[in-house]
Structure 1
């Protein structure tokens, strides 16, 4: 999962900065923009469109594995603590620290009365749980939980526990209360701590429902407290230290074939030192599975890559158990000692590498080993003597240094294959769908005959509609693909439709794409580092996004084998790129001068040396500080992002744009736009983007971006130097020049086909599953030939709605509708509604 470091390529604040495209080119380092047709819906009353769909059941397509679709869990957006992990108390062991987050203290989420202080000395609970709270008699401590507070439901039971130690001969009486601003939420409970460290428990029964509860522990005598916990009794499958039931049930309802865990960027970023018995542990270190097993009170706390802490209460044992509970294959990811996600660092330490390789072998033994083995015995001691049947394991995540990563990957693979030859070791191809890193990574994987390669990409809906055939041309004899992270850039139904169209291509290529998972899985509404996300939740409620409903429909109806089929397409547009021009910056101050736009016939369409002010330009409120200074147009706010100003006619086509640009200060370079329809629909040439490390042409459609051409050569834009930029637009061909030399070119002629289909067979039921996506605002009247005799009725499931519709806590307009379709046969006509996903399950009789 990529970093959220600000970039001029970002579609919105704190959104993923990945920019992918179909073509990678040349060199450079500045930013310009082109206009593209928006995905806005045409008139609602558009006439039906005629299509054909022909099925060939006499031939067999690729088999579909039960594990084709799965889920990817990463502790992002408070997905674990405060999310799937059902613990209600935040910072339960007082381990938060400013070293992890500048706003943290050991008493974050706690309020104290009387005399209470955090202590770190030899009297601690254990070596890894280093802080505890010392409380005098008559004092109390109150926890506010996550978000608005501790959530309870009337009539449900909540299990309290605390580790306590006291030197008082008579013991230390503890009064436990659960309240909100309106009063008591449950009858108070009392326990008495005596002697050395011991665990004490109690149970609350909620008398009413609240989302703003507070848990208080008050002591009548001096006492040391640690690991203060409150768990709902009703966890998923009733497991202690278990999962929040509603979230787990929504994941289970997907019927996932695998669970990839625990990340993601948090796996392989930060220090790689880990825990050390003598010196304690580094606060910022890569995720290491041995930190996360054993008694919960003995597990380390780690700083999460996403800006908050993780308690490791949800650890490897719980991940394995959860995968087993929902019938999914466990798929862990281990660090490779080469960081990705924007860090780009290599740990060159042979001894440390050797240790991590051994840790990975130990992990496989923990999952699969007999109870007589060292790590199998530890698994059994935690309550699971039977093995977890681990068959796949991934090394690394999104490394941007493919050669350094692959050298280390080979060490892991050799050791695993030597001891556990039945375990598939998965590599990856970096953070993008294309480019020099992607190409180099794939070359290394192919040359080494790697079994499976993990691809990640987050692109615009337009990209997903344009790239349905991506895997049609992949080598059938090469490494298989694990599409471990993908999503379009919003939770609107239009985004989900584009993903559904793309998924028909994944199924059609099920012989190449063996695993696929949308990402991220979970997001807590009051703690969002990344959007979009599949399942949203707050303290009490959870709901599936429109994307979730699409994923669920495909995952519950995959079938066993693809049945070959063909469909007619939608006529492609050949209209030329049209649009005005623009100038922009991202976290940079820059000056622009001598802007000219010349038609292909040589006629001057615009000429501005800013000697007469900036009257030709349109500025958006709040987007930077633009003014004419010393005869140039200057954006002076070096912190402002996406400061686009525009000029000219949206109807312009076949023109040359010239501009001189000078960086004055800041993190990046220049952005020059063309083909501008509006602020959400354009192209721009982004020179010196991504922290002045990359350059690319990006196409923005409906506010979502995709890369059309780019470089990853590290070329930087120099401060104070004037650059001469030229963009030549001819039809749908664009050529770009930097300081008089050709920088790159591309042709934007990919077809964003809105009508996609795939047919599979469910051998158990004898049904053909006809899956049709109609991602346009015209209904698709379709003549269907199934090629065999079928029953006269079919089960029909439809997702349909406004492409801008979003599911929320209070309303879920995108939900499946089920019905029976009657009067069908081998050949019949069906009209697929505008903006819809339709699944027909049809029983074969011939």
Structure 2
């Protein structure tokens, strides 16, 4: 078993090493001793037992990893071909909800011999498709193409829409189906829908409160009524939302600080928030919380006036976030940094007794690392295998840009320093005496 510690330099204060679970280590005495990371190994620890028959890598169609995943079809069971042969719970109308009269038919009126099933829909009836898993992913402003093969005995108009439980996501389209046999028809939607809105003219049923404080609807406002509450949050919507605009009108009623506007919330410990007028009303910053630990992504001096209404806007496009305060761009950032660019695992080869140190350094800088082998008796040399390349490097039939390189490292002891190259995977095989 092993653990990793990250060291960060602070100008004018020397170096400090931070152990998330084990406390603070003393600062190094000399600059040449400073390392980016430290790996501490317990050579007596036992890992999980792995069965002898477990091996290999495979692809399994779980949670729509194939249809609705690698195959990016948005409509589930689009040809009404689901059967109990695939899943005992399947029917030809799985993923479809019928309003009125509809049935799946296989008769002489079929489209062709390879696509036998079709839906017979009575006049005034409709069907709705649920998509895969949690629904069809729809992004505001994006265009969606619809196509269908249809026929009608006397010709008719087919209305096609895109909607969720909150209402229409795009303007419905009318498709004129002719009376002469099967023919393909197409329509195009542009999604223009507000995912969530609330003027607090009623209750706050769609909002969930976490943390301290007390929230209540008062005169068309959702108010946090405590002056002393910290890290209090209310949230609404879906954690799967992305590529959206968030608009809030906020007023500071009282208290020593401003307000927090959260976005990208996954759970109570993982989210972003814009801390406007924080730090005793002296600074405004965007903070990212991951499993309860916070880091600052962007910060500026700033304060909030009591009783003044502020227009707050947050535009999220993938990992790009732009923030607006009273209609003016306040700042932006791209959160493209890996959650932690340094990962390691240390195992023991049961047959040879060798310690195998495996390290991934997924950053553009080398990582000078202290390895503490926990007092293990080891040889002074290690066999090294390194795979390092630029992030965009790709192997082809004629070029092997990414290839393993083997070498020997001397200077191994129960505690030593090794520098792992940028953008690399490294294996150190260390013989135990």
Same fold by TM (over 0.5)?
Answer: no
TM-score by length of 1: 0.24
Identify, as 1 or 2, the structure richer in helix. 1
* Structure of greater relative contact order (alpha carbons < 8 Å, 6+ residues apart): 1
